């Protein structure tokens, strides 16, 4: 699914745009109700970004954002969700490996919903430690020739990095992301690393 960026014209993005046309046919009230009900059902657990329900919700969120659904106040925000300051939709944060730079990403407008520095210190510490452990592993995918050549067998280094990535992402989804449920009713995490070719199915929890 990649980062599922809304602008790209890659074949996969075009396919997702096609999937998303279903929500274009929803009127504003139906769309708002569908989103509010689905958010209610998400509550109380962490979700893989690759989960089909999250994928479906993301498509609805793109439509909802385009149509400013949450500003129209057609339905009340589902119980437990606060309003995101970025776009005033219910706060549904996404955690990614880039959390130190991007903070928590809003699933409605794709902007930063919460800066990393605004998280409680007791959550910042383990997340920072994890991200700093992950960064050099991820960097192997982007090594230039001057880093690759001395290694001799780059393919093996890449494969070792992918295995390390699977373990680290597993720990992320299993141990770290759930800690944020103390703050938010639902948390989504990116369960893949496209640069290291780590897929969701490579990360058992
Ligand atoms: Zn937002």
Residue 147 has a pLDDT of 87
- Asked whether residue 191 is assigned to any structural domain, the reply reads yes
Residues 136-168: tens digit of each pLDDT: 999 999 999 888 888 889 999 999 999 999 999
Instruction: Answer whether 52's CB lies under 8 Å from 30's CB.
Output: no
- Asked whether residue 162 is assigned to any structural domain, the reply reads yes
- Asked whether residue 4 is assigned to any structural domain, the reply reads no
Question: Residue 3 pLDDT more than 60?
Answer: no
- Asked whether residue 71 is assigned to any structural domain, the reply reads yes
Question: Residue 203 pLDDT more than 90?
Answer: yes
Q: Which domain holds residue 75?
A: 11-202
Q: What spacing in Å lies between the alpha carbon of 38 and ligand 1's midpoint?
A: 17
Question: Residue 41 pLDDT more than 70?
Answer: yes
Instruction: State the virtual CA torsion across 160, 162, 98, 56 in degrees, nearest 10.
Output: -170
- Mean pLDDT, residues 8-36 taken together: 94
Instruction: Answer whether 106's CB lies under 8 Å from 87's CB.
Output: yes
- Asked whether residue 6 is assigned to any structural domain, the reply reads no
Q: What spacing in Å lies between the alpha carbon of 104 and ligand 1's midpoint?
A: 10
Residues 169-191: tens digit of each pLDDT: 999 999 999 999 999 999 999 99
Residue 176: CB atoms within 10 A of its CB come to 20
Structural domain count, the chain: 1
Residues pairing with 178 in the sheet = none
Residue 150 has a pLDDT of 85
- Mean pLDDT, residues 14-37 taken together: 96
- Asked whether residue 5 is assigned to any structural domain, the reply reads no
Residue 116: CB atoms within 10 A of its CB come to 18
Residues 66-124: tens digit of each pLDDT: 999 999 999 988 899 999 999 999 999 999 999 999 999 999 999 999 999 999 999 99
Q: What spacing in Å lies between the alpha carbon of 84 and ligand 1's midpoint?
A: 6
Residue 4 has a pLDDT of 47
Q: What spacing in Å lies between the alpha carbon of 59 and ligand 1's midpoint?
A: 14
- Asked whether residue 139 is assigned to any structural domain, the reply reads yes
- Asked whether residue 1 is assigned to any structural domain, the reply reads no
Residue 7 has a pLDDT of 59
ipTM above 0.90, yes or no: yes
Query: Residue 105: left if φ>0, alpha if ψ -120 to 50, beta else—which one?
Result: beta
């Amino acid at each position: 699914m990649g980062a599922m960026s809304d602008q790209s014209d890659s074949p996969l993005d075009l396919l997702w745009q096609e999937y998303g046309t279903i929500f274009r046919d929803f009127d504003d009230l139906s769309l708002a109700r569908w989103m509010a009900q689905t958010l209610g059902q998400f509550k109380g657990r962490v979700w893989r970004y690759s989960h089909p329900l999250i994928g479906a919700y993301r498509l609805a969120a793109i439509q909802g954002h385009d149509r400013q659904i949450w500003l129209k106040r057609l339905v009340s925000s589902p119980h437990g969700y606060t309003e995101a300051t970025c776009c005033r939709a219910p706060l549904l944060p996404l955690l990614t490996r880039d959390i130190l730079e991007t903070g928590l990403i809003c699933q409605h407008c794709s902007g930063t919903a919460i800066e990393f520095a605004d998280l409680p210190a007791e959550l910042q510490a383990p997340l920072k430690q994890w991200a700093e452990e992950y960064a050099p592993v991820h960097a192997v995918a982007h090594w230039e020739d001057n880093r690759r050549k001395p290694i001799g067998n780059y393919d093996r280094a890449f494969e070792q990095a992918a295995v390390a990535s699977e373990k680290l992402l597993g720990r992320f989804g299993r141990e770290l992301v759930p800690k944020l449920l103390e703050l938010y009713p639902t948390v989504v995490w990116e369960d893949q690393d496209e640069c290291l070719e780590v897929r969701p199915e490579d990360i058992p929890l």
